[in-house]
Amino acid sequence: MTARQITLDTTVNGRALSLSVEPEALLLDVLRERLGLTGSKRSCDVQVCGACTVLLDGLPVSACSVLAYEARGRRVLTIEGLARDERLHPVQEAFLATAGFQCGFCTPGMIMAVKALLDDSPSATPEDVREHLRGNICRCTGYASILAAVAVAQRALADGAAG
């Protein structure tokens, strides 16, 4: 650890970590380069495209524009931590079912953004969903299959909660 580095204690995908990082290191770089969690993508660099979306204490953030240090003492969830015991999360299942992806580059961020929304408001209306996804750009699908995936996920989560 050089003099410039600082200690970052954080939890990533349920695992407590203590890392030494440069003070100006971005969360995205630490995830991708230090931890090998390459599911979060770099694309726009200015928190408008959503390809790097991860959850910080359950809330969606653009990891390309958040300092790694801001994750101190907080829980980071990335796409790699979403499936539990090899079982896909209902949002992931829904994206599979409706083919809510083509090239797949926006998909991890899109899924994390949808998870955040449905955790917060399970019965979001289609208008809510479209507005919420303002921060996530997809260049391939025209969003139709993504919006369909959200609806499928909402039903699955409701059934799961009821069952």
Partner 1 sequence: MTERVIGTSVPKRDGADKVTGRTRFLHDLELPRLAHGKILRARHPHARLLRIDTRRAAALPGVLAVITGADVEQQPFGFARDQLALKVDKVRCVRDEIAAVAAESAAIAEEALALIEVEYAELPAVFDPVAAARPGAPLVHEERGSNLTDLRYQFSHGDVDGAFAEAAAVVEGEYRLNFVTPACLGTMVAIAEWDLEDRLTMWSTTQVPFLYQRDLAQALGIGGDRVRVHQPPVGGNFGRGLDLYPIDVIAALLARRARRPVKIEFERLEEFVACPTREPCTIRLRTAAAADGRLLGRDCHVVIDNGAYVSWGSTTPYVMLSTVAGLYRCPAVRFDTTIAYTNNPYSGSMRGYGNLESTFAVESQMDELAAKLGLDRLELRRRNATKPGDAHPQGFAIGSCAMGECLDALGDTTRGLPPPARGWRRGVGYAGMFHVGGGARIYKSDGCGAIVKCDDFGRVSLITGATEIGQGSETVLAMIVAETLGVPLARVEVVNSDTAVKPWDVGVHASRTTFIAGNAARLAAEKLRARLVAMAAGELEATVEELAVGDGWIFVKAEPQRRIAYERAARTGHLREGGQTLVAEAFYDPPTAMLDKDLRGNVSAAYGFAAQAVVLDVEEATGVIRVRRVVSAHDVGRALNPGAAEGQIHGGIHMGLGYALSEHLVVRDGQILTASFMDYAVLKAEDMPELVVRLVESIDAEGPFGAKGLGESGVIPVSAAVANAVHDAIGVRFTELPITSARVHAALRAGPRD
Cβ within 8 Å of residue 81, ≥6 positions away: 12, 13, 14
The correct pick among 88, 151, 156, 158 for binding partner 1 (CB under 8 A) is 88
Q: Does 142 bind partner 1 (CB under 8 A)?
A: yes
Q: Under a CB-based contact definition with an 8 Å cutoff, are residues 157 and 122 in contact? A: yes
Q: How far is the CB of 39 from partner 1 (least distance, A)?
A: 2
Q: Which candidate, 18, 16, 47, places its Cα nearest to that of 7?
A: 18
Binding mask 65-84 for partner 1 (x = CB under 8 A): -------------xxx-xx-
Give the pairing type, strands 6-12 and 75-77: parallel
Binding site for partner 1 (CB under 8 A): 32, 37-46, 48-49, 51, 78-80, 82-83, 88, 92, 95-97, 99, 101-108, 111, 129-131, 133-134, 136-147
